[in-house]
Structure 1
Amino acid sequence: MSRVWHISGANTGFGLELALKALSEGDRVIAAVRTLSKVPDSLNRDDVKILQFDLSWSQGEMNEYAKKAFAAFGQLDVLVNNAAYSYMGAIEESEDAAVKAQYDINVFAPLRLIRAVLPHLRDQGSGTIINFSSVGGLMSGPANGIYCSTKFALEGLTQALAAEIAPFGLKALVVEPGYFRTSFLSAVTSGTNIAPALDVYEGTPAHDARKAFFAYDGNQRGNPVEGVKRIWEYVADEGLLKGKEKLGKLPLGSDTGSVLRLVAKDLEHTADMYEEVWKSTDFPEGQ
């Protein structure tokens, strides 16, 4: 059965590759983009509806947009909150206005869109919401704390959302890509989305991480074409995901897999090391 995917940021990177994968499988796509003139020719086809979309819209504007999105093909089966950006720099280097803008786009925008579509999905009785997190939603790092904190927030929202909407036959998934070879880091390496450097951090992990962004850009190990295949397979129950338990997290990339295991070990070590401590803070049983 043909599905309808709504993909934000569908004109580039992961969003575009996911749109093309869905189309290749006979699905239809609502391509939500901010700038219509930047839509590639590969999306100018009858099974794609291109809608202008802005992550800065208010809740009221999102509600009106949701009506338009559902009317495009008469249904919406998979909502993909993909569009986001990274604001890099040490915590002390970060600027308040830039941090607020990062949260508005990476956290509040998908939250507003989710609120807008949920009444329609409930009426429909089916649907999957996919929120793009990151390896940075599992573990934060120097010069990446602001961006990672937005992904930590999205992880928490999605986990709660999945439990809340399950009674209505709806699902929620968080996708956790590692470093994939897209243009995601280009805004950082071009100097657009990186905080002004403080000299005091030179020679520390914060500025070493800054240099690493430049080394990673264009050399990421992750292949976005393969990454989107796994996302489609999760939804379709095909390929490598066929018959597998559909968990609430979908890690993508060897780096994410390694971090996932590292975080699990760290949590277990912390629980073991402080077992006496955390047990000591309860009331005695029966009180």
Structure 2
Amino acid sequence: MTPRVWHISGANSGLGLELVLKVLKEGDLVVAAVRSPSKVPNNLKVDGVKVLQYDLSFSQEEMHSYAEKAFAAFGHAQVRTQFDINVFGILRTIRTFLPHLRAQPAATAPGSGTILNLSSIGGYRSYPSNGIYCATKFALEAITESLAAEIAPFGLRAVPVEPGYFRTSFLSGVSGDAGSGNLAPPMQVYEGMVAHEARRHMLAVDGKQPGNPAEAAARIWEFVAGEGLCKGNEWRGRLPLGRDAGTEMRRVGEEMVETARVYEDVWASTDFQD
């Protein structure tokens, strides 16, 4: 079987790196997109990996140029995996890569033409001190869901991957007064309230997260390839990872059903009666 070609950003650390290693182990090829090629670990300096400098701040023109390099790396690209939190950067990437994906011959290998956007447990449940980050993930969920319907006629798929807390460097450096890219900065007026308690919780679990990145990478590969624990499963439009993510997804679903039940007389009363 022809090896798949994966485009993985954030490939030199965390879940991105684990996914690269899993992909290589399975005999697939990787375009490793990183901000600093000089910092790529030695285990990525192997055959089957093409390292390219990539930044979500690229302009549309720079993104087009980058896409040409990425697609030329191995002559084609069948599966694209995007790990980012910036909504607009992902949109620019999708707009650039999608014409290439649409133009490819009909997929023959399982998982060919799959776009995986890294969402989060925060893509369907927002948390105190984390609202802006969660908003980007909610937006990504909406973009991916509509994209999936739009590209299905081309034999392409789009899926949000929704990990819970995994033991990566994601929470590192959030304790500073300026906050981080994922947490709002602390404000004295919220001391003793839920916003600061949420920050303290995140600091307390850093390095103790239950999720194993290597196992997450394995499940992602199996999901795309239709192998392992995902073999024979009905294809669904989302991929939750981690017990916390799955549990929270059930809770959110149950809350939605209960809300619809409680307010049925209200929402059913607002349509025209003709």
TM, length-normalised to structure 1:
0.90
Q: How does 1:208-223 map to 2 (within 5 A)?
A: 208-223=197-212
Which residue of structure 2 lines up, in the alignment, with residue 61 of structure 1? Answer: 62
Is 1:270 aligned to 2:259, yes or no? yes
The percent identity for this pair of structures is 61
Is 1:108 aligned to 2:88, yes or no? yes
Write the distance in 1 (CA, Å) between the matches of 2:213 and 2:185.
30
Write the distance in 1 (CA, Å) between the matches of 2:185 and 2:5.
42
Q: Which runs of 5+ in 1 are unaligned?
A: 85-105
Q: Is the 8 A contact 1:177 1:251 kept in 2?
A: yes
For 1:278, give the aligned amino acid.
W
Write the distance in 1 (CA, Å) between the matches of 2:145 and 2:184.
31
Write the distance in 2 (CA, Å) between the matches of 1:234 and 1:142.
31
Q: How does 1:53-92 map to 2 (within 5 A)?
A: 53-84=54-85
Which residue of structure 2 lines up, in the alignment, with residue 11 of structure 1? Answer: 12
Cα gap change, 1:46 to 1:243, in 2 (>3 Å)? same
Matched position secondary structure for 2:127: coil
Matched position secondary structure for 1:182: coil
State the 1:190 CA deviation: 5.3
- The root-mean-square deviation of aligned C-alpha atoms, in Å, is 1.1
State the 1:197 CA deviation: 1.9
Q: How does 1:151-190 map to 2 (within 5 A)?
A: 151-189=137-175
Which of 97, 101, 122 is matched with 2:102 structurally?
122
Write the distance in 1 (CA, Å) between the matches of 2:117 and 2:31.
16
State the 1:195 CA deviation: 3.8
Post-superposition Cα deviations, 1:100-130, rounded to whole Å, max 9, x if no partner, equal xxxxxx2000110011001000111441100
Q: Is the 8 A contact 1:82 1:131 kept in 2?
A: yes
Write the distance in 2 (CA, Å) between the matches of 1:149 and 1:196.
16
Q: Is the 8 A contact 1:79 1:130 kept in 2?
A: yes
Which residue of structure 2 lines up, in the alignment, with residue 283 of structure 1? Answer: 272
TM, length-normalised to structure 2:
0.94
Matched position secondary structure for 1:188: coil
Which residue of structure 1 lines up, in the alignment, with residue 187 of structure 2? Answer: 198
Write the distance in 2 (CA, Å) between the matches of 1:13 and 1:130.
17
Which residue of structure 1 lines up, in the alignment, with residue 230 of structure 2? Answer: 241
Q: Is the 8 A contact 1:7 1:19 kept in 2?
A: yes
Write the distance in 2 (CA, Å) between the matches of 1:195 and 1:227.
27
Write the distance in 2 (CA, Å) between the matches of 1:278 and 1:256.
29
State the 1:196 CA deviation: 3.3
Structure 1 or 2: larger helix share? Answer: 1
For 1:205, give the aligned amino acid.
V
Q: Which runs of 5+ in 2 are unaligned?
A: 108-112
Write the distance in 1 (CA, Å) between the matches of 2:60 and 2:96.
7
Matched position secondary structure for 1:263: helix
Q: Is the 8 A contact 1:182 1:218 kept in 2?
A: yes
